[in-house]
Structure 1
Amino acid sequence: MKITDVRCTPVGVPRRKIFDRTVVTGLGPAAVSQYTLVELMTDTDHVGLGEAACVFDPTGAALATYIESQMRPKLLGRNPFDRSALNAMLRSSAPTGYEPALAAIDIALHDLMGKALDVPVYDLLGGMARPRVPLSYSIPFGEPGEVVRFSRECLERGFKTLKIKIGQSHDRDVECVHRVCEAVPNDVIVRVDANMSFGDATAALKFIDAIAGLHIELLEQPLAPDCLAETTRIRERSPIPIMVDENVWGPATVVNVISAQAADVLNVYVMESGGLEAARVNFSMAEAAGLKCMIGSMPELGIGTAAQIHLGVAVPNLDLAADCCGSLYHDDDVTQPSLCLEDGFAVPPSGPGLGVELDWEKVDNFRLAASGSAR
């Protein structure tokens, strides 16, 4: 089998509105996900699907140019079963922040291999460690009453873990967290995501002190990634476990987090890791260091979400509920069949490879024109 072409399709899919308005978190407003869909064509007519999803610069849609100009020439004529060698070659020349482009190719290579061998991707990742992945759902910025009502709606949909997004103001954030914890049953897991919104460790510790009496599973990414020493200081003083997210990209960044003793939990993204293979390495490194892990989300569309679910059922040390439900954060999706995201769990699609295919009517509907706007 040889790769004969690499095709990119940038798309812009609207995010689902919550509280009848565009979702806002510590990363800012999120109205549309602009990502790139990737197809690896072969001389056997098998097609591998990948997705470059990123909310940071360069965005997933912007990565199409890099994939076509820099990665495509290196992949043409190569055997997709040489996945590790291809990944190493592409990673060696990729700029920092281009891991989602690496992920798109790696996911497509896994999909190709699964289709050629007639096995699901999770078998290529070590087999099934669990039949389904427990899910978390994120609660965006809002008035405290809105946040409580939406939290209850999530529970009615079957979610048992809620992630409250903070970064509005100290008082508003504290009130939202307190009111949700008071409103939900004791068996519901509540976690808090700062999305790097604290200005410094002092502000983060002030917030932690204000919620320390509550049953909070963890606090995610209090500071920006370049504030690793300050994050270590927060972890050393916090009674609430600290999880890092934006600090965890390729495996080299995990070495930095472990060396600094800056986290109790790693939020491992397929996109930020640079693909399923690299994410698997990140999970193994965390296990060796005694750190817990979960899977994070940009949030992805159907291809990326399917890849996350395959990873989630395969890794033995998925310790916490994962964010593998990106499709639910969008008005629509570009794949078929629909992913099984029900009753607070994700089940891997049936069939070989990722188990999903592109719905071209929807792809064409969300395809981005050269100007960057959806047609």
Structure 2
Amino acid sequence: MNTSTTFQAISTPTAADLKITDITITPIAFSDPPLLNAVGVHEPLVHRVVIEIRTANGLLGLGECAGGQSRLVNLAVGARAITGASVFDTTLMELLINEALAAEPSVFERAAVFSAFEVAALDIQGHATGRSVSELLGGTVRDEVPFSAYLFYKWAEHPALDGKPAISDEWGEALDPEGIVLQARKMISEYGFKSIKLKGGVFPPDQEIEAIKALRQAFPGLPLRLDPNTAWTVETSRWVAQETSGLLEYLEDPTPGLDGMAEVAATAGMPLATNMCVVAFDHIKRSVELGAVQVILGDHHYWGGLRHTRELGAICQTFGIGLSMHSNSHLGISLAAMVHVAASTPALTYACDTHYPWNGHNDVVKPGALRFVDGSVKVPSGPGLGVQLDREKLGELHQQYLDAGMTARDDTGYMQKFVPDYTADLPRW
């Protein structure tokens, strides 16, 4: 059974109008290593969704977003709302989606749904005009976009469970400073990254400080970042900031909420960054008033698409806030969109996050368009996103989704299968 869903306009517009006639939503599942974080551990499979928009004249545009059952429902609602609209009228598309999802309480969710369709619409605009997406966004200020090595504490393998064998991977175990340094060496040797981020919040903070010190010794010239995903109290965060003064480029989301972040920022010797307490435009004013955040990690999936991400960049410039880019488990369509918007956003001067080294072997785009060279990805030349869909791989990953029977990501529930008394209550230390 194929669960891809196609929505068709009642009447087919002329080709010249570039109206949306078909939207196909394909849920997929791809393999993910056992990466540890503040709320548990990644499951063996992660959900993602591939969006295909077609116009009356046969042009195809691609989008990608996070998956899960509720997201699929909202994408279906959004698809019905915009079918028949012009791919050049993304403002109308956003209004139609917001109206159709008026009962959805999460602004974040509505933004994520629109973003998936906006990227696909911009991809088609590029094919229609012979221009790249970055050109449509106003042109590039950089020809290549730097990314950061994204390190995780991790198990050596997914343990055997429910009669299924253990699943190992090429990265091996990383549960102490030595393992983290080895992971960094492998990632940097393969991708050439010029900065390093460690996902923390897994072990007591003194252990994670030791990992940062080990990374500094091993890579004395590279900027370092630490992200515990709000695992620490204000007091602990202040202590960690003191202990890592002079070591970190920025400290990301050490403690929950803008008030807590402001208390830490008042004494920290490095900028504080976030992708958790400033995730919508109406959060920015209070953050500025409190002095809570010095770097925002934008994400076009969260902020409502590529054009809104550029707007975020302009606001950051206005208030002297730095701009980086958040990442979740993603494939090449999202990576291409990230590269195009980062290349066209002057304020985005920090290296971006990416999970691609962990997940890129699963990619649904044909190889060649996206390559890491010295830690950076050159802007695809286009037209559009500059990537092509690998339909055989898409079908394989869709079947994997069907076979898995999963409906949502659950890092905590998966961890509890091996550590029954584990809880995700934060802050933990």
Identify whether the pair has TM-score above 0.5, normalized to the shorter chain.
yes
**Of 176, 181, 198, the match for 1:164:** 198
SS of structure 2 residue aligned to 1:237: coil
SS of structure 1 residue aligned to 2:26: strand
For the pair 1:232 / 2:262, whether they are aligned, the reply is yes
Identity rate of aligned residues, in percent? 26
Deviations along 1:115-161, one digit per CA (max 9) or x if unpaired, are 11110000011101110011101111221110111122233231110
**Residue type matched to 1:230 in 2?**
G
Give the Cα–Cα distance (whole angstroms) in 2 for the partners of residues 305 and 61 of structure 1.
23
**Residue type matched to 1:211 in 2?**
T
Give the Cα–Cα distance (whole angstroms) in 1 for the partners of residues 300 and 39 of structure 2.
19
Residue 264 (structure 1) shift: 0.7
SS of structure 2 residue aligned to 1:272: helix
Deviations along 1:212-238, one digit per CA (max 9) or x if unpaired, are 2x42100011123xx211111111111
**Of 74, 80, 95, the match for 2:87:** 80
Q: Is the 8 A contact 2:82 2:97 kept in 1?
A: no
Q: Is the 8 A contact 2:213 2:247 kept in 1?
A: no
Are residues 91 and 223 of structure 1, via their aligned partners in 2, closer, same or farther at CA, if it must alter by over 3 Å?
farther
Q: Unaligned regions of 5+ residues in structure 2, if any? A: 1-17, 154-174, 408-429
| Corresponding residue for residue 63 of structure 1 | 71
For the pair 1:127 / 2:127, whether they are aligned, the reply is no
Give the Cα–Cα distance (whole angstroms) in 1 for the partners of residues 105 and 61 of structure 2.
24
* RMSD over aligned Cα atoms: 1.9
**Of 237, 242, 252, the match for 2:282:** 252
Q: Is the 8 A contact 1:11 1:61 kept in 2?
A: no
Q: Unaligned regions of 5+ residues in structure 1, if any? A: 54-58
Q: Is the 8 A contact 1:132 1:346 kept in 2?
A: yes
| Corresponding residue for residue 329 of structure 1 | 358
| Corresponding residue for residue 46 of structure 2 | 33
Give the Cα–Cα distance (whole angstroms) in 2 for the partners of residues 250 and 41 of structure 1.
30
| Corresponding residue for residue 314 of structure 1 | 344
| Corresponding residue for residue 55 of structure 2 | 42
Q: 5 Å matches for 1:98-109?
A: 98=109, 99-109=111-121
| Corresponding residue for residue 24 of structure 1 | 36
| Corresponding residue for residue 225 of structure 2 | 191
Q: How many residue pairs align between the two structures?
A: 357
Are residues 312 and 61 of structure 1, via their aligned partners in 2, closer, same or farther at CA, if it must alter by over 3 Å?
farther
For the pair 1:288 / 2:298, whether they are aligned, the reply is no
Residue 60 (structure 1) shift: 5.0
Q: Is the 8 A contact 1:327 1:333 kept in 2?
A: no
For the pair 1:215 / 2:265, whether they are aligned, the reply is no
Are residues 191 and 298 of structure 1, via their aligned partners in 2, closer, same or farther at CA, if it must alter by over 3 Å?
same
